Amino acid sequence: MSASHPPVRRYRPPAPLGGRRHASGGLARRSAGAFAFLAPALIVIGLFVIWPMVSALRLSFTDASGFGREEWVGLENYVTVFTDPDILNAVVNTVQYTVLFTPAAVLAALGLALLLVNPHLPFRSFFRTALFVPFVISFAVAAFAWSYLIDPQVGLLNHWLGGLGIRMGNVLQDPTLAMPAVAFVAVWKLFGFYFVIFLAGLQDIPSSLYEAARVDGAGPWSRFRHVTLPLLSNTMAFVLVFAMIAALQAFDQIYVMTGGGPYGHTQTVVMEIYESGFRKLEVGFASALSYVLLAATLILSLVQFVFFGRREKDLSS
Amino acid sequence: MTRMRTLLGAGAAALALTATGCSGGGDADGPVELTFWHGYTEADGDVLEEIVEEFNASHEDITIKTEVKTWAGIDDTLLTALSAQEGPDLVAMPSERLPVYASRGAFVPLDEFYEGDDAAANLVPGAVDMVEVEGEKYGVPAGFVPLAVYYDTALFAEAGVEEFPQTWEQWVEVAERLTVDENGDGTPERYGVVLPDHATVANGLWPTLFYGNGGDVVEDGRAVIDSPENAATLEFWRSAIEDGAISPTGVDGVGADELFGGGKAAMTVGGPWMASIAAENGIDYAIAPIPAGPEAQAASAIGISMATTVDTGDAEREAAQEFFSFFLDEANAVKWSLGSGWPPLRTDIPAEEVASNPVVASLTEMADLGRPLLPGVVNSVDVLTAVDELTQQALAGGDVDALLAQAQADIEAALE
Amino acid sequence: MSLAATSRRGRRAPKPSTVLATIAVVAVSAVVLLPIAIIVLTAFKPVAEVNAFPPSLFPHEWTLDNLRQVTSDLPFLRLTANSFVFAGGVTAFALTFDSLAAYALARMDFTGRRALLIVIIATLMIPFQATLIPLYQLVADLGWVNSYAGLIAPRAADAFGIFFLRQFFLALPRDVDAAARIDGASEFRVFRSIVLPNAVPALLTLGLFTFVNNWNDLLWPLVFTTEAEMGTITSGLTLLTGPSGIVPHGVMMAGSLLAILPLVIAFLFIQRRFIENIATTGLK
């Protein structure tokens, strides 16, 4: 594709996250029509997602093991969630992971999108594809490949860096390096998806706005702040929320690379959920922990939506 | 709850016109069919298949169908299968996992079988300890072998080591001789021994070393890990590894096996599969008992147990017991031992019968050293995590006394 | 004429910022592609080289043994076929159901729209490990264990797809469909003939995303299929682990290579349309 502009059409302001409001009237009739559209998806989600979620909620108030006898224990599991030091450790680790992953992934994605929107960059098509390929690899395979690369005995990276005089040591068993390492693998795998979304968002900003800013004497940083960022805010909100949700649920590569170690330094909340449920057969407790995670994620996401919603209002004024 | 589920299921089934797939429910007529999940692959798996086939052939009314998964795979999938009554009838699993499932009611008690069957009377006692939970027996041993040292005889000959070390001091000394650091950069190209400091083979290395100095992890249901003996053990090995660089640190059990297979270590502590790994990698190996510590010579045992799940009817449970009888009778015990490379599960098998397999012969000689790991402990997951955290941090130079106190507290909490 | 066009016509040296940008992008791409190279190259290394020290990127001796072992250890073709059925089936249903629901949430007014949206998004916030057991019990009650129906049905619609397409539909101009409605077209007509054709880029994006994620999904096919033959290639790879827990690197890389090959081929095939057209995804 040559560096042409998207097809000319009347410029529309960004879609607000809350959706537009319609003229009222005939609500009941329209509701019935809407239901027909919603039915297939709602049946599937209601039956196969929401119903198990309700089941899990019920389980969280029991000492169930998934099979056999179960007894009602009320809020006991939830009390354990908030008082058990291992859970606290997992929460701290999960927060640490989220703080490492989310900005890194989003900034990398945004930075590369800004670089690749430049029409003069050679081989843009190749780079766009290359940066997206990790997304296609599964987390387990990615974790396996990276573990092999940084293996203290036979790792290629260790060998190359050793040649440059940098001793990597045993990264995955180092209490300070293990968490950044597993966060890095996730950034590697997921940033390509966010990158593509940012690229789309950037390409949709009409160059006329940049021209106007340039004419007004704005430099590159000023143009970025006053043209790019505001018009990207919806995209940014979308990417941030989903990146954060992905970070809060980190599991696959941690399971493969460190198993939660060294001595619990990479144990995340979902690792605890998996261990409690599948290793210790404490399904009731695992469900309670899952619901606390759900509540935390929901609150954090709503906060983000409200924050970006407010910025939108500022812009449209 | 079950009523609601059935209602929902019935309603959804009415909508579901495409209900394909049949559930393997037991039929009243016809042969009893048992599904058997196990993790024996390659050579072991082939021998087990043979035994199962012979059983099927000789028992017209029973058919056993095996499903081979990995041991980890069984752990991941058994719970969900049982939760929907879609579980197998027979399952084999690492012995320390059995108490978790048994205590939650996943397995059928087998005391009746043990009273009635004469094979059961002659089983290795340690193996039987592994299947007992809260006074009842919930399984049947399928394998029980002490950890042993697998070493590279070529490297030993090269270094002029004639006799395998018998004590810890000798062991460290030999390991130092076999450690090679040609370029003097502090990282040996080849280590004398590989001692993993977490997730060790069958979680048994450090219990073994503790036993050697008269210490233990859990005794009679009480945490005894915080002891001067264990402190001395940890100090001994930490300085041995630090001073002589005889072993890499931060390695786990699987990594240790890989290092040995890759020729990067002259000795490793492992199980019978090391024989095939050595053979695959062209390493001439021999097996020796783990050297004695100051107080005792003992080795933690690797165990596999078989059990009957509660997803079975009476007919299936009887059929399962017949299979256990068959599996443990003298002829099959010998066949299984020779084929799998693990010592026989019966104590009344004369040594000559298993002499044809040298691995089995060596391991059978040292079978008395085997001690079951955490028998009957339901929350072995947390206990073993506590041990791992203790050993990994101790070997990294942490404060041994504080770490032992922490481990003691953690294990006490886990045993409640 | 913009400055950009002028400099394209002349044979001037590239601007320093472009040079720096190119270097940065090349460096990042190298890091990004390194593990891919490792997967591809290690798949062809003999065992001795995989654990050799010092390690090298390229094999000294190329071997097909690893690939051979993968295809002999696993019912490989069957597993790949299952992956296609699973990922393809889920994608087909999800695109259909999600777009219908997204359209309703974006363009139609009804009571409880806000609340429904929040409930749908909330379903993304609970880890799958928590709902796995009740879900499995439900599917077993339906009699669908070890069947394609049971494997596909729980994924036939998903919250991410609905939210993603809703954002897209919200940004599409309404002039044309307003005109169509005045002409008396039913809502479904509008959806099918006017909105959907304009949604092809978003549908392609979501389709690829859904297909890749389900192809690579490990936990659900692993737990759901108790028979080895019904598994997917991703769940099948776990069987390559040896009895002691050792994962033979060469064999596992070979298996991984075979597992991702269909994905990479499909991706390269549609990547031009996909990445270029994502420009109008409307997530702005």
Q: Cβ B70–C227 below 8 Å, yes or no?
A: no
Q: How far is A221 from chain C (nearest CA, A)?
A: 14
Q: Cβ B379–A280 below 8 Å, yes or no?
A: yes
Residue of chain C nearest B22, judged by CA positions: C143
Q: What ipTM score was computed for the predicted complex, to two decimals?
A: 0.88
Residue of B39, B80, B253 with shortest CB distance to C223:
B80
Give pairs for A287-290: CB < 8 Å, separation 24+: A287/A56, A287/A57, A287/A59, A287/A60, A287/A64, A287/A77, A287/C130, A288/A60, A288/A61, A288/A77, A288/A78, A288/A80, A288/A81, A289/A77, A289/A81, A289/A87, A290/A56, A290/A60, A290/C126, A290/C127, A290/C129, A290/C130
Q: Let me know: does A77 contact A61? Beta carbons within 8 Å.
A: yes
Joined together, the tokens standing for residue B190 give: 């080849």
pLDDT, mean of residues B118-132: 91
Q: Could you tell me if A127 lies within 8 Å of chain C, comparing CB atoms?
A: yes
3-state secondary structure (DSSP) of residue C151:
helix
The model's confidence at residue B289, banded by pLDDT at 50, 70 and 90, is: very high
Residue of chain C nearest B256, judged by CA positions: C246
Query: Which subunits sit against B, judged by 3+ Cβ pairs under 8 A?
Result: A, C
pLDDT, mean of residues A219-237: 86
Residue of chain C nearest A10, judged by CA positions: C173
Predicted confidence (pLDDT) per residue in B201-226, tens digit? 999 999 999 999 999 999 999 999 99
User: Residue A21: what pLDDT?
Assistant: 52
Q: How far is B64 from chain C (nearest CA, A)?
A: 15
Q: Cβ B381–A69 below 8 Å, yes or no?
A: no
Q: Which CATH number fits domain C74-240: 3.30.365.10, 3.40.190.10, 2.60.120.200, 1.10.3720.10?
A: 1.10.3720.10
Report chain B residues whose CB lies below 8 A from the CB of C232.
Answer: none
The model's confidence at residue B268, banded by pLDDT at 50, 70 and 90, is: very high
**Which one has a higher pLDDT value, C5 or C209?**
C209
List chain C domain ranges: 2-68, 74-240
Q: How far is A175 from chain C (nearest CA, A)?
A: 24
Exposure letters A288-301 (e unless 16+ CB within 10 A, then b)? bbbbbbbebbbebb
Distance between CA atoms of residues C196 and C202, nearest Å:
10
List chain A domain ranges: 28-59, 85-308
User: Residue B14: what pLDDT?
Assistant: 46
Residue of chain A nearest C208, judged by CA positions: A136
The pTM for the full model equals 0.90
Q: Does the structure show a pLDDT above 70 at C10?
A: no
Interface with chain A: mutation pick from B385, B388, B411, highest number of A CBs within 10 Å: B385
Report chain C residues whose CB lies below 8 A from the CB of A145.
Answer: 35-36, 38-39, 253, 256
Number of inter-chain CB pairs under 8 A, A vs B: 67
CATH class of B26-145+301-372: alpha beta
Q: Cβ C51–B8 below 8 Å, yes or no?
A: no
Q: Does the structure show a pLDDT above 50 at C32?
A: yes
Q: Let me know: does C224 contact C136? Beta carbons within 8 Å.
A: yes
User: Residue A24: what pLDDT?
Assistant: 46
Q: Could you tell me if A275 lies within 8 Å of chain B, comparing CB atoms?
A: yes
Report chain B residues whose CB lies below 8 A from the CB of C136.
Answer: 80, 83-84
Residue of C39, C124, C218 with shortest CB distance to A245:
C124
Q: Cβ C14–A245 below 8 Å, yes or no?
A: no
Q: Does the structure show a pLDDT above 90 at B236?
A: yes
Predicted confidence (pLDDT) per residue in A250-300, tens digit? 999 999 999 988 999 999 999 999 999 999 999 999 999 999 999 999 999
Q: Cβ A53–C2 below 8 Å, yes or no?
A: no
Q: Cβ C143–B73 below 8 Å, yes or no?
A: no
Report chain B residues whose CB lies below 8 A from the CB of A279.
Answer: 75, 100, 381
Q: Does the structure show a pLDDT above 90 at B56?
A: yes
Q: Say how many Å lie between the first and final Cα of chain B, rounded.
A: 29
Of the ranges C110-119, C127-136, C176-185, C260-269, the best mean pLDDT one: C127-136
Q: Cβ B106–A58 below 8 Å, yes or no?
A: no
Q: Could you tell me if B105 lies within 8 Å of chain A, comparing CB atoms?
A: yes
User: Residue A13: what pLDDT?
Assistant: 56
User: Residue A183: what pLDDT?
Assistant: 96
Q: Does the structure show a pLDDT above 50 at B184?
A: yes
Interface with chain A: mutation pick from B76, B104, B385, highest number of A CBs within 10 Å: B104
**Which one has a higher pLDDT value, B335 or C181?**
B335
Q: How far is A65 from chain B (nearest CA, A)?
A: 7
Distance between CA atoms of residues C211 and C270, nearest Å:
13
Q: How far is B193 from chain A (nearest CA, A)?
A: 15
The model's confidence at residue C192, banded by pLDDT at 50, 70 and 90, is: confident
Report chain B residues whose CB lies below 8 A from the CB of C47.
Answer: 280-281
User: Residue C9: what pLDDT?
Assistant: 53
Predicted confidence (pLDDT) per residue in A104-117, tens digit? 999 999 999 999 88
Q: Does the structure show a pLDDT above 90 at B195?
A: yes
Q: Could you tell me if A281 lies within 8 Å of chain B, comparing CB atoms?
A: yes
Predicted confidence (pLDDT) per residue in A36-57, tens digit? 899 999 999 999 999 999 999 9
Count CA atoms within 13 Å of residue C7 on its CB side. 11
User: Residue C175: what pLDDT?
Assistant: 80
**Which one has a higher pLDDT value, B135 or C193?**
B135
Report chain B residues whose CB lies below 8 A from the CB of A152.
Answer: 248, 250
Of the ranges B115-124, B174-183, B285-294, C105-114, the best mean pLDDT one: B285-294
Q: Taking the domain B148-289+378-415, which CATH number applies?
A: 3.40.190.10
pLDDT, mean of residues B386-400: 95
Residue of C136, C142, C150 with shortest CB distance to B83:
C136
pLDDT, mean of residues A28-35: 76
Helix axes A76-83, A85-116, angle to 10 degrees: 70
Residue of B16, B71, B84 with shortest CB distance to C136:
B84
Q: Cβ A137–C282 below 8 Å, yes or no?
A: no
pLDDT, mean of residues C217-230: 90
The secondary structure element, H or E, covering residue B175 is: helix B168-178
pLDDT, mean of residues A220-247: 88
Tell me the sheet residues that pair with B33.
B63
Q: How far is B94 from chain A (nearest CA, A)?
A: 13
Q: How far is A95 from chain B (nearest CA, A)?
A: 22
Interface with chain A: mutation pick from C40, C117, C129, C220, highest number of A CBs within 10 Å: C129
Q: How far is A23 from chain C (nearest CA, A)?
A: 9
The model's confidence at residue A310, banded by pLDDT at 50, 70 and 90, is: low
Joined together, the tokens standing for residue C210 give: 């859904």
Nearest to C74 by CA among C224, C185, C231: C231
The model's confidence at residue A313, banded by pLDDT at 50, 70 and 90, is: low
Report chain B residues whose CB lies below 8 A from the CB of A277.
Answer: 79
Residue of B19, B68, B264 with shortest CB distance to C142:
B19
Q: Cβ C129–A273 below 8 Å, yes or no?
A: yes
User: Residue B1: what pLDDT?
Assistant: 47
Tell me what the pLDDT averaged over chain A comes to: 87
User: Residue A27: what pLDDT?
Assistant: 67
**Which one has a higher pLDDT value, C176 or A1?**
C176
pLDDT, mean of residues B189-200: 94
Predicted confidence (pLDDT) per residue in B9-40, tens digit? 454 444 443 333 334 444 456 789 999 999 99
**Which one has a higher pLDDT value, A30 or B123?**
B123
The model's confidence at residue A316, banded by pLDDT at 50, 70 and 90, is: very low
Joined together, the tokens standing for residue A196 give: 């593509």
Q: Cβ A66–B83 below 8 Å, yes or no?
A: yes
Instruction: Show the beta-strand stretches assigned E in B87-239.
Output: 90-94, 132-133, 136-137, 140-146, 148-152, 191-194, 218-219, 222-223
Q: Could you tell me if C133 lies within 8 Å of chain A, comparing CB atoms?
A: yes
Report chain B residues whose CB lies below 8 A from the CB of C139.
Answer: 84
DSSP code at position B268: E
Q: Cβ C228–B281 below 8 Å, yes or no?
A: no
List chain B domain ranges: 26-145+301-372, 148-289+378-415
Q: Which CATH number fits domain A85-308: 2.60.120.10, 3.10.150.10, 1.10.3720.10, 1.10.1040.50?
A: 1.10.3720.10
Sequence-separated (6 or more) residues with CB below 8 Å from residue C177: C107, C190, C194, C195
Residues 62-101 of A with CB under 8 A from C: 66
Q: Let me know: does B348 contact B122? Beta carbons within 8 Å.
A: yes
Q: Does the structure show a pLDDT above 90 at B360?
A: yes
Q: What are phi and psi of C81, to 5 degrees?
A: -60, -45
Distance between CA atoms of residues B168 and B157, nearest Å:
20
pLDDT, mean of residues C146-158: 95
Q: How far is C141 from chain A (nearest CA, A)?
A: 12
The model's confidence at residue C272, banded by pLDDT at 50, 70 and 90, is: low
